[in-house]
A and B are shown apart, each in its own frame.
Chain A
Amino acid sequence: MIAVFRDLFRYNGEFAIGFMIMMVILGVAATSFFSPYAPIDSYLVAMDAPPSAEYVFGTNSRGQDIFWQLTFALRNTLAFGFIVALISRILSLAIGLISGYAGGAVDRVLMSVNDTFIVIPLFPLLVLLYFVLRDDMTWFVLALVMAGLGWAYDARLIRSVMISLRTREFTNTSVFSGMSMPRIVTQEHLPYVLPIVFSTFMNNMNWSIGLEVTLAVLGFTDVDTPTIGGMIFWANQHSAMVSGIWWWYFFPTLFVTLTFIGLFLLSISMNEYIDPRSRLDRMGNS
């Protein structure tokens, strides 16, 4: 495991950069535990102060220190993405495995349902859900709903990998040498599938964070829980652009963009790791 990590870091530029970006992001998010202010308290510091030595990222029109606000926002946003990705990974892994192994009618039915979920546009549905639930639409409810709707694309991917693994020579060999099917799945096949699950994990986090930011910017989430989208929402509410408080937009946008790029780089480096040909190509070049 450590050797894999070291090789990735040494030979894969994307991984190294992505990893460092994510370390910075996680570091900033972790400092929220040392924040001198409670996340939703307002009018604590001078309003609309530009970035300075005292307030690194400045303060906003609600009298909050943007740096500390950002640490909470990053923590919540990352946790949100993590929960959605975790639950939807479990769903897509289960459905992909069942569909890939069972084949036949089970596979056809599951994949029809799967394709249905790929096609349905989620955004109007999520807006409708917020519209109906209003204040009951908490951060956690949204995460559960998005996990329940966001598994389909990756389930198809995992299914196709499972089908190709099932027909490989070594699977037949294991079957003939008397290995039980659950053991083949966990010991022989899972090592192939796990890197894909990790890679889709990052992609799914990006997807869910992107949707959450969008919903929050429009004010369609629980705006009292500080998230990146929520910060931009409040900046819009106070017309920060008109009054020239650019730092209120700039820092949340910068950090969320960094998060996206970091997660994305990790996911594509994982993809290259899965494909041994490109891995060798890289090692040969450097």
Chain B
Amino acid sequence: MRSYAIYVGKRVLQFALVVFVGISITFLITHLTPIDPVEHSVAQVSTFGFSSPESIELLRQSLRELYGVGDNLWEEYLIFWQRLARLDFGPSLSAFPTPVSELIGRALPWTIGLLTVSTILSWFIGNIIGGLAGYYSRNRILRIIGMIMMGLHPVPYYIVAFVLLIVFTFLLPILPSSGGYAMNLAPGWTPQFLGSVLLHSILPSVSLILVGVGSWFMGMRALVSNIVTDDYVTYAALAGVPERRLVTSYVMRNAFLPQITGLAMSIGAIFNGAVITEQVFGYPGIGRLLVEAVHAADYSLVLGITSIAIIAVSAAVFIIDIIYPLIDPRVQVTQ
């Protein structure tokens, strides 16, 4: 138990480091800006005819603190962190005067749901088929499936999503082309609404899965084809362990472990893919919000999403990391 506490402690430090570096890069990027975002944004709000002086002052205040137009860079940096700790990015410019944190809070569940489901599915599908392909390396069907998976893997998310969009909503219109749920339904826990959510999530998640499975497949196949030649597997086979048990409990189980570490390392890249997929399918998550925020020149919203994305992704990696020793028994034995 003590060794687990030390392990978690190290992971907490790494988590803190990721957030620290990520947020600092964000801070540096925003301070490279050649134009003054504060007056630019305030001017934009005023021209649209929002005249509530309190709201505009609130916007000016938060933008000034976030972008730090003071003269001491260090002080600006500290204020930036204070704002972030309170998750207070001020009012949004494009949805004035709704707070940025509320917009992000509304979009975040969609992204988390889409990402969790498609990541877990592609991880399992890729690993199981990859494991089988490594074990039965001469099987023709598995080889063909493998070739398709590996062929799709290097294609960027955008292209796969776009092709799916054309095929299933334009050439063969059986699935909804955009949105998170049908427009005429009121959000709630009704079966109709949930069904609609599910239907709308098919294309985005399938495109994420299609791109995602390839790398798990390749990794697992390589791992399994190494383990198969290990002595303990040969011994178990000679001792008459049924083949089904040999594949699942002897070979695949061991190969799964490094793939969990791989999952932690690829969360960031998967998140990038989700951002793009959401944009293609008009899915109401963080990714679409980000793109819309850029087009609307909404500084606080772009900054807020970037910061939240960094924190959320590192938190996901942290969770996988601390679960790992609970699955891998060897970590408890070693000090």
Q: What are some 25 contacts across the A-B interface (CB < 8 A)?
A: A113-B17, A113-B21, A116-B21, A116-B22, A119-B317, A120-B21, A120-B314, A121-B272, A121-B309, A121-B310, A121-B313, A124-B310, A125-B29, A127-B302, A128-B302, A128-B306, A206-B154, A209-B156, A210-B156, A211-B156, A214-B272, A218-B291, A256-B159, A260-B155, A264-B150
* A interface residue numbers (CB < 8 A to B): 112-113, 115-125, 127-133, 136, 153, 206, 209-211, 213-214, 217-218, 220, 241, 249, 253, 256-257, 260-261, 263-264, 268
When distances are taken between beta carbons in the complex, the residues of chain B under 8 Å from A130 are 294
In the bound assembly, the distance between CA atoms of A127 and B32 in angstroms comes to 14
Q: How far is the CA of A213 from the CA of B280 in the complex (A)?
A: 14
B322 interface hit (Cβ, 8 Å): no
Closest partner residue, chain A, to B270 (CB atom): A121
Closest CB in chain A relative to B164 CB, distance in Å:
13
Of the candidates B17, B155, B275, the one whose C-beta lies within 8 Å of that of A124 is B275
| Residues on the B chain within 8 Å of A127, using CB | 290-291, 294, 302, 306
**Chain A hits for B294, CB < 8 A:** 127, 130-131, 218, 220
Distance of B321 from chain A, by nearest CB (Å): 10
Nearest A residue to B214, CB-CB: A264
Chain B residues numbered 147-205 whose CB sits less than 8 Å from any CB in chain A: 150-151, 153-159, 162-163, 166, 170
A-B contact count (CB 8 A): 121
- B268–A121 contact, CB under 8 A? yes
* Cβ B271 vs Cβ A112 within 8 A: no
Q: In this assembly, does B70 line the interface, its C-beta being within 8 Å of a C-beta of chain A?
A: no
Q: How far is the CB of A124 from chain B (nearest CB, A)?
A: 4
Residues of A within 8 A of B22 (CB): 116, 120, 125
* B305 close to chain A: CB less than 8 A: yes
In chain B, positions 69-92 with a C-beta closer than 8 Å to chain A are none
Tell whether B242 is near chain A: CB-to-CB under 8 Å.
Answer: no
Tell me whether B303 and A128 are in contact (CB under 8 A): yes
Whether the Cβ atoms of B275 and A123 lie closer than 8 Å is yes
A124 and B290 in contact, given A119-B268, A214-B156, A261-B151 (Cβ under 8 angstroms): yes
Contacts of B95 in A (CB 8 A): none
Chain A residues within an 8 Å CB radius of B279: 218
Q: Are A125 and B159 in contact (CB under 8 A)?
A: no
Cβ-defined partner of A241 (8 Å) among B18, B30, B166, B313: B166
A138 CA to B302 CA in the complex, in Å? 20
Docked-complex contact A214 and B302, CB < 8 angstroms: no
Could you say which residues of chain A place their CB within 8 Å of the CB of B218?
A: 268
Chain A residues within 8 Å of B317, by CB: 119
Task: Name which of A120, A129, A130 has the most chain B CB atoms within 10 A of its CB.
Answer: A120
Q: Are A132 and B33 in contact (CB under 8 A)?
A: yes
The answer to whether B268 and A118 touch across the interface, beta carbons within 8 angstroms, is yes
Q: Which residues of A contact B21 (CB under 8 A)?
A: 113, 116-117, 120
Counting from the closest, the 4 A-B pairs by CB-CB distance are: A210-B156, A264-B154, A123-B272, A260-B154
Residues of A within 8 A of B303 (CB): 128
Bound CA–CA A165/B18 (angstroms): 30
B234 contact set on A, CB distance < 8 A: none
Question: By the criterion CB–CB under 8 Å, are B163 and A214 in contact?
Answer: no
The residue from B25, B33, B156, B170 contacting A120, defined by CB atoms under 8 A apart: B25
Are B29 and A253 in contact, with the CB atoms below 8 A? no
CA distance A119 to B275 in the complex (A): 16
Kindly list chain B residues whose C-beta atoms are within 8 Å of the C-beta of A136: 34
Asked if B267 is at the interface (CB within 8 A of a chain A CB), the reply is yes
Q: Does B14 have its Cβ within 8 Å of any Cβ on chain A? A: yes
Given contacts A123-B272, A261-B151, A261-B154, contact A253 B163 (CB under 8 A): yes
Asked if B100 is at the interface of the complex by the 8 Å CB criterion, the answer is: no
Chain B residues in 8 Å Cβ range of A132: 29-30, 32-33
Q: Cβ of A120 and Cβ of B29 under 8 Å apart?
A: no
Question: CB distance A120 to B268 under 8 Å?
Answer: yes
